[in-house]
A and B are shown apart, each in its own frame.
Chain A
Amino acid sequence: MRPRSSRDESGRQADGGIAIRVRNLRVNYGEHEVLHNIGFDVKAGETIAILGGSGSGKTTLLRSLVGLERPSGGAIWIRGQDLCCISPREMAELRKKFGISFQGGALFGSMTVGENVALPLREHTRLDDSTIEVLVRLKLEEVGLSGYEDYNPAQLSGGMKKRAAIARALTMDPEILFFDEPSAGLDPIIAAGIDDLILKLKRAFGMTIVVVTHELASAFLIADRMVLVDKGNIIAIGTPEEMKANPQPRVRQFLDRVPDPEVSADEGFLDRLTQNLRL
């Protein structure tokens, strides 16, 4: 347990232009620790890209930031509030200031695109139906999906689903936007369109944006700073220029897209293959 004074101190510091502060964060899945001592800050209005390979723990990190995973140690402050110690009601209030675009879109299949986008407004505001309708059209227009209000999510292509999910994430005019793999599984043209959209949102609304991705080109285009996660550890933090100049071998390997050495060249390879066999 951390001493209360240090939490309060960090909490106050977090108010001064820091939107997200993470310190010594550890997350376990059962016995297995997937994030080890993660720590970084995200300034208000900044776009940060969390980069990492598959299984590096970057999605777990994002899920922890939005309160979907409970850390086994360390702390996360969002807008100065310590996630570990806030009440469910405070968490709900905080989440109203989030917008999250999930990897698969996570649009509600039982609702139309328009109803999906309208849902946060219907649930959290007392706006009348016609105002909500106008706002839904506005948000869909912002992501280039005007006229798709009455479509079912199943009728949309992968890129359109992501756009609709972004429109839903924008509905409550969030202060912090989270994207989980925004361009994964999309063709380069559609992926570039999503990058453009993120840049547009950044310029137009000055939102704090956290993007989890493994797409290097996309990350270098949209990010003010980058966090490179490898095997549950942060191995580098910096601006795109600093990352390009980073000499660490693992950073270079990731940025220069160099594959891991062949497993069969490994000394223990044969032992691993034949272990537990009665030969």
Chain B
Amino acid sequence: MPVTETLGQATIDGLAYLGDLAILMGRSLHAIIVAPFQGQRLRGQRVVHQAMSAGVGAIPILSLISFFIGVIMALQSAYELRKLGAIALVARAVAISITRELAPLITAIVVIGRSGSAFAAEIGSMKVNEEIDALETMALDPIQFLVAPKLLAMLLMLPCLTTWADFMGILGGATFGVSVAGFTLGSYIQATLHSIAFRDIVTGLIKSVMFGAVITAVGCQEGLSTGLGAEQVGRSTTSAVVKSIFLVVAVDLVFTLLFYFTTSR
């Protein structure tokens, strides 16, 4: 097959996949926003259950990782800033890199590993065991029943987790600042608050909402398109993780570009 044809086919497949994700998102958002006004109930209990497992359950590991990332960021920036005699800027470097970029991204990656893969595996096994067919024949829309509660939980939990990761990352930076760079806890917090703008946190949170949508859409789409057999469930899970990481980084790039060009003038 000529290279142009392969490239063309890959582009068409990629666009078709994005189209499938958009349709899934659209139908889920319809189930969350519009359907409750048409007399169809939103399954609050399932939303809470998902929020607990995808959100609250992620707190311990996310705390640890973002704390470490905070320390690492402080170390890496101190390495260069020390040469310039500007070690006091460590707090600023940590605060900006964590709130604008690292906390949303690390949170997304932790959630992909814990929940994006779980969505694909859960829905994939349901597909293999005819449970999705059973839902349909019981007049229950699988998107309304399975995907919408997951999406709502993720849209609510990702910003919360990201805020928590912001806090833990800065705490990590502060640990380094206080123990090595001559800060007191008070002066570190003051330097942090002085260096970050409200906008930094908000842009991070906006990105985290988008990441939540991407992770849910990819995880559920991969689950719903699982073929027959247990092996396919494994394939869907792997594929969900790889595609989610790629799309989260791509969305991150787009939004960072957008924020850069809309706020730097």
Contact = CB atoms under 8 A, between A and B. Distances in A.
A162 to B, nearest CB: 13
B134 A106 contact: yes
Contacts of B134: 100, 102, 106, 108
Interface in B81-104: none
Interface string A154-180: 000000000000000000000000000
A182 B130 CA distance: 15
B133 A102 contact: yes
Contact of A95 (B126, B129, B138): B138
A120 interface: yes
B139 interface: yes
B131 A92 contact: no
Using C-beta atoms within 8 Å of the partner chain, give the interface range for chain A.
Answer: 20 to 34
B139 A95 contact: yes
A139 to B, nearest CB: 14
A92 B139 contact: yes
Interface in B112-141: 122, 125-126, 129-131, 133-134, 136-141
A109 B131 contact: yes
A93 B133 CA distance: 16
Given A102-B130, A103-B130, A104-B130, A109 B125 contact: yes
A109 B129 contact: yes
A176 B53 CA distance: 39
A93 B139 contact: yes
Interface string A102-133: 11101111100000000110011000000000
Contacts of B130: 102-104, 106
Contacts of A109: 125-126, 129, 131
B161 to A, nearest CB: 23
Q: Which of B122, B129, B133, B138 has the most CB of A within 10 A?
A: B138
A119 B136 contact: no
A100 B130 CA distance: 11
A103 B129 CA distance: 9
Interface residues of B, number: 14
Interface string B189-206: 000000000000000000
A263 B12 CA distance: 43
B131 A98 contact: no
B80 to A, nearest CB: 50
Contacts of A67: 136-137
A95 B140 CA distance: 9
A119 B141 CA distance: 13
Contacts of B138: 95, 119-120, 123
Nearest to B49: A110
B139 A106 contact: no
A104 B137 CA distance: 15
A68 B140 contact: no
A68 B137 contact: yes
Nearest to B145: A123
A79 to B, nearest CB: 15
A156 to B, nearest CB: 14
Interface string A194-232: 000000000000000000000000000000000000000
B137 A95 contact: yes
A66 interface: yes
A124 B139 contact: yes
Contacts of A103: 130
Nearest to A180: B130
A17 to B, nearest CB: 24
A108 B131 CA distance: 6
A119 B133 CA distance: 15
A102 B130 CA distance: 7
A91 B138 CA distance: 11
Contacts of A63: 133
Nearest to B128: A104
Nearest to B125: A109
Contacts of B136: 67-68, 95
A66 B126 CA distance: 19
A96 interface: yes
B162 to A, nearest CB: 28
B44 to A, nearest CB: 13
Contacts of A100: 134, 137
In the complex, the 9 A-B pairs of residues with the closest C-beta atoms, listed nearest first: A106-B134, A106-B130, A92-B139, A95-B139, A102-B130, A100-B137, A96-B139, A106-B131, A66-B137
20 contacts: A67-B136, A68-B137, A91-B139, A92-B139, A95-B137, A98-B137, A100-B137, A102-B130, A102-B133, A102-B134, A103-B130, A104-B130, A106-B129, A108-B126, A108-B134, A109-B125, A109-B126, A109-B131, A119-B138, A124-B139
Given A106-B133, A109-B126, 8 more contacts: A92-B139, A106-B129, A106-B134, A108-B131, A108-B134, A109-B131, A119-B138, A120-B139
Interface of B: 122, 125-126, 129-131, 133-134, 136-141
